[in-house]
Structures are given as structure tokens and as C-alpha cells.
Chains A and B, each alone.
Chain A
């Protein structure tokens, strides 16, 4: 095996030099240099805006801060200890995990059914598709406000309908469970469009003859979805599980901020919102940094677990 096979482009530079072909070596090096130059903008942006701030956040989490970090004192793991012993924070973690689980399962399940119906329907397909994707086109803040007014306890469009048809009293400004439910539904509703786009694309990639073979075999629609489509689009589904998890943990901030402010009574106080309040309302940047590090760790572990588990269940055609 030559250097090229082992070390790629750089290997071939070495190989050329060894064999005394300096001109060729320079050509190879120029080729490699061009590649690094092309990567440079992305590398710079990543370093400046992602990796450096991330490292600074880890550093900041070891300090107690005042005035946006202008004054700070080293407390070691003090922030982490106080978080671990705070019942408010413990509750926030539990709420967040439950919230994320419901959001991921809800979004995926609902989107799968919607996508399958869209895939099967023959008349008016485009109109239905646009209707399904529409909420995704809204920025989260707008979506949050739209949903707020749809189901506002006093002026919501759907409020009187729900109260008329069910024995429920819509009062999610003061009832924790209702608030949690409303925010969860809003967050799921917003994300369906994104999932439908990918799922429809995945289903359209399933060879038509497989559907026809199943039709000839008398496989029911439901079985066709669960036994044929879901396994065949499993790489897409894995991608969506990851994206939806990130969305549930990080992308739902606007909904909480606009609709419930983490309340009532901390019922919707998810980690990303709690973190924001500590940082920007209570100016406790050290503690907020520690929270962001913990949030990052939880999501990382989840990603790792999802990817490891999926090795056994995802079918790459």
C-alpha cells in the first residue's frame, strides 16, 4: 500500500518527494492547500462563534459573576453544587425531559400519519401539503403568538369551542397542567411541517413497485406504513429524532417566553428558559453557564444513545 492510500493527499506529497519529483509534490501540496483555504471561512466562523464561546461558557460556569461578568470570583464547582441541590432546578430537569419526550414522540407520530395520508391521497395533494407545512414557515415567535390567541383563556378562537364541547374550563394561565399541555401542543404543531417535508421525501423514495407488490399481496395500509415505509425511511426518521430532540430542548424557548413565562408555578419552566432567566433577568451568568453546560451534556448523551441504538434498527438500503 502506498503513502497515498494511507495518508491521502499528504501521503502523495511525501511519496512524490521521496521519489524526487519535487514539481509534482508542489502540485499535490497546492491541491491540499486549496482544500484548506476553501474550508477556512467555515472553520473561522465555527471557531469564533461556536467553539470559543463554548469553552468560555465552561470557564464561566466555574465563577460567580456580577455585572455581565465584569466582576467575578472563582467558586470551582459551586454553581454545579447549588444547581444539583436546588429543587427548582431538579423540577426543571424533570419537566424538560418529560416535555422533550412528549414533543419528540408526538411530532414524529403525528407527522408520520399526516405524511402517509399525504402520500396516499391523489386529489388535492398540493393543497394538503401546503396546509401541513404552513406552520413551519412561521418564525417560532409568530407561531407562539398565533397559538396564544387561538387558545387564549378569554379571547381565544378555540376556547369557547373547547369549553362548549367538553366539560373542561380553559384556564391555562393559572393551571400548570393545562399550560404544559397547551405549550406542548403548540410546539408539536409548529414542528409538524418540518417533519412532513422529510418524511414525504423519504416515502416518495420508496420504489413504487414495493407498494404495488404489497397491494397485490393484500397488505393493509396500516401494515404497509409500519412494516414497509417506516423501516425503509428509518435513516430519515433517525435524523428527525435527532433534530426534534434538539428542537425540544433548545428551539422551544420562544413558545415558553411568549405563552407562559415558565409558569404557572414552574409547570413549563424548561431548562433553556430557566437558563435564560438566570442569565438575563437575574444577571447570574456563572450559574446560567453551568446550566448550559449541563443542558449540553444531557443532549449529548441523548444523541449518543440515539445513534448507538439506531445502529441496530436503522436500515440503510
Chain B
């Protein structure tokens, strides 16, 4: 059983706070992905787990053991680095065995057995005699994974391991990593800035910004019920549209009002309690659609197309409506040109409202209760 617990972990570099009071629980065998923009504190968090950075405040437990002050080598973790960190003067095999041999706690037979097992798992058996300079990026990454594997650690830590690979190889390695984790079921913490990687790999995903955890949940839940405007904008490609609106309640019906449109909102308890008047409406590009009416119908409105981006499987339209821009994902191969007016409608079950001041989600239109950051940070998984 290898769980990881971070309790109130803070990291300060002189007067800069890189990580602020993080509480996080990683379950045994879980693949947890930490995602966020550059400088959000995700790598620092991982390095604190590895013991490569000291902790300013708080405690870290691995498998129930307090490792806060322990040296990296005493934590029984393996780390895979973005630049692979292979020793350039050693062969792939020596790279994998060097640490074990130096540590001195493994017999030669044991080391040999583990190397051949790892080489077989990763398909690098015929590369063992080569030096890193003679390997391609993908092969180097496999060797780096092999080095992490042979030590049979309690925890794998991965710091953007796929970032140096080209796009095609990255997708391939992503699938292999997922498969590998399925076989080994070792608790893994994986850091990336790529939200697609985070969504596809993680059992759960931690979204970080400015040194703080914004939300921890399964990928789908993050996508469907973002906790705040940051998560809503960061998760999903193309990003969610955010438009400032007035929320008006008349005749038992709540309407969001914008100079260019009025949309009726499905009633929920939260909406009834919401009395701020102004809010930010969030709607994903695929939840907006073009309708073939003249725009007079309920919940429809007219916008002008400014840019079209054919993506192959869909056509992304940038539409302007009374000074605000909305991205709309529409069917491919349509004859829409920039300058054309289009009539749009929304999927009324897929609307979100965010508080203008706190930027927190206050309403999801399908009735799912918007969770506060305090709740989501320690939420149970939904699967």
C-alpha cells in the first residue's frame, strides 16, 4: 500500500511562495497528473516529493511514513526527468544499473534479472549496449523509464517526461505509459503543462495555478464541472467561452442577459440563492450550435463570423456578438465565410456561471452542485 499524503505543504524561495499550503492525497496505485501553466508550482511540488527541494512548511508522507526530512535516496522513489538525465558516458544498460550497483544493496544476479525484465517490458533489449547519443529521443525516454523501473520503487515521479518528444511520438509514448501503469500499478505522480496529457493519462487530475491547487478530480468531471474560471479556461481545447452577463429573475424564470442575447437558465437551488446580478457566463464551443432559423426563437441569437478555422473533424468559428467573441465548434465542410451572420443557440444543460469577483463557479445548469475549492481539494474520486 503506497499512498502519498501532502499536509499543508508550502515552499518558499526567499520572498517568493512557489507552493502554498497544499493538501493532497494520492491513493495506492493511482496515476495522478498535476497540470498547470509554467510557474504554477507543479514541478516544485514533485521535487519536494522526491526530496530534491526542502519543504518550508507542512509534512509529506509516503506509504504512511513521514519522509519530510529524508534524503532522496531514502524515500524509495524513482524519477523520470524531462531531459531524461541519462549519463551520457554510460551505455543504456550501465545507466540502468549504475544506481543499483552504487547503492550496493542488490546482488549482480538480481540486477541482471531486473534489467532484462525492464528491457523486455519497454522493448529496449537490443539498445542496451548503446550510449544515449546513439539513441533517438523516444529510445532515450524508454531507457530513462527503464532506469526508474529496475529499482522497483514505491512511487514513480515523472516531470514532463514527454515534453521533449515530437508530437507523434508523444501520443505513442502516452499510450505506452498508460499501458505500463496498467501492468505495474505503481503509484505515480506525473507533472505536465499539457492538458491533453493530463486528461488522457490521469486517474485523477490536479489543476494548479499560482502555487495553489485549483481542483482535483477525474478528467471528465474537471471538464464538465470546473471549480472556477481558471480551471474552466485551462481544461478543454478550444477553451471555454467566458462572457460577462447580467442575471435577471422575472416571473419565476431566471435569464442571463447580454446586449446580444438572452438565455433562460434551468432553475436550481443555487441559482435561486444567487443574487449578485452580474456574473460570467461560461459555455464551451461545442455547446454552441448554428440553427437554421432567423434568430427570433427563444434562446437563439445572431452573431457575425470573424474568422474560420477548419480543424478537419470540425470547423471552429470565431463569432462576434455585441463586442464579445464566442468560439463555436460547427460541422466541418460548411460554406460559412468570415463576415457571414449566423444564428446560434446553446445547449441549456451545459451552461456555467462564475462569480465576477471570486471567479468561483456558482452554478452548473444541469443541476450538479458547484463545489467550493475547499471541498474539491479533498474530494473522493467519482470512479
Contact = CB atoms under 8 A, between A and B. Distances in A.
Interface residues of B, number: 23
Interface in B130-171: 133, 147, 151
Interface string B337-351: 000000000000000
A232 B132 CA distance: 13
Given A210-B87, A231-B89, A223 B81 contact: no
A216 B83 CA distance: 16
Interface stretch (B95-103, B181-189, B212-220): B95-103
Central interface residue in A207, A214, A217, A232, by most chain B CB within 10 Å: A217
Interface string B42-54: 0000000011100
Given A232-B88, A232-B89, A315-B89, A209 B81 contact: yes
A42 interface: no
A317 interface: yes
Contact of A219 (B52, B77, B99): B99
Interface of A is mostly: helix
Contact of A213 (B81, B89, B100, B133): B81
A120 B175 CA distance: 40
B85 interface: yes
A213 B77 CA distance: 11
A223 B104 CA distance: 12
Interface in B76-95: 77-79, 81, 83, 85, 87-89
Central interface residue in A209, A210, A216, A223, by most chain B CB within 10 Å: A216
B73 interface: yes
Contacts of B87: 210, 213, 228
Contacts of B108: none
A220 B73 CA distance: 10
B374 interface: no
Contacts of B100: 217
B309 interface: no
A215 interface: yes
A177 to B, nearest CB: 40
B103 A217 contact: yes
Contact of A317 (B50, B79, B85, B88): B88
Contacts of B71: 215
Contacts of A216: 50-52, 72-73, 77-79, 99
Nearest to A217: B99
Interface string A219-258: 1100100011001100000000000000000000000000
Contacts of B72: 212, 215-216
A234 to B, nearest CB: 8
A219 B85 contact: no
Interface residues of A, number: 19
A232 B50 CA distance: 25
B98 A212 contact: no
Contacts, number: 63
A230 to B, nearest CB: 10
Nearest to A220: B102
A2 interface: no
Contacts of A228: 87
A315 B88 contact: yes
B73 A209 contact: no
A112 to B, nearest CB: 17
A209 B85 contact: yes
A10 B237 CA distance: 56
Nearest to A224: B102
B102 A219 contact: yes
A167 interface: no
A213 B103 CA distance: 13
A229 B102 CA distance: 15
Contacts of B89: 231-232, 315, 317
Given A231-B89, A232-B88, A315-B88, A218 B83 contact: no
B88 A212 contact: no
Given A212-B52, A212-B79, A217 B85 contact: no
B36 to A, nearest CB: 21
B185 to A, nearest CB: 21
Given A207-B83, A317-B88, A217 B102 contact: yes
B88 A213 contact: no
Contacts of A217: 73, 98-100, 102-103, 151
Contacts of B102: 214, 217-220, 223, 227
B255 to A, nearest CB: 55
Interface in A175-208: 207
A159 to B, nearest CB: 44
Contacts of A210: 85, 87
B83 A214 contact: no
A216 B102 CA distance: 11
A233 B79 CA distance: 25
Given A212-B52, A227-B98, A218 B85 contact: no
25 contacts: A207-B85, A209-B81, A209-B85, A212-B50, A212-B52, A212-B72, A212-B81, A212-B85, A213-B79, A213-B85, A213-B87, A213-B99, A214-B102, A215-B52, A215-B73, A216-B52, A216-B72, A216-B73, A217-B99, A217-B151, A218-B73, A218-B99, A219-B99, A231-B89, A317-B133
Given A223-B102, A317-B89, 9 more contacts: A212-B72, A215-B72, A216-B50, A216-B52, A216-B78, A218-B103, A219-B99, A228-B87, A231-B89
Top 10 A-B pairs, shortest CB-CB distance: A217-B99, A218-B73, A209-B85, A218-B103, A219-B102, A213-B85, A315-B89, A231-B89, A216-B72, A209-B81
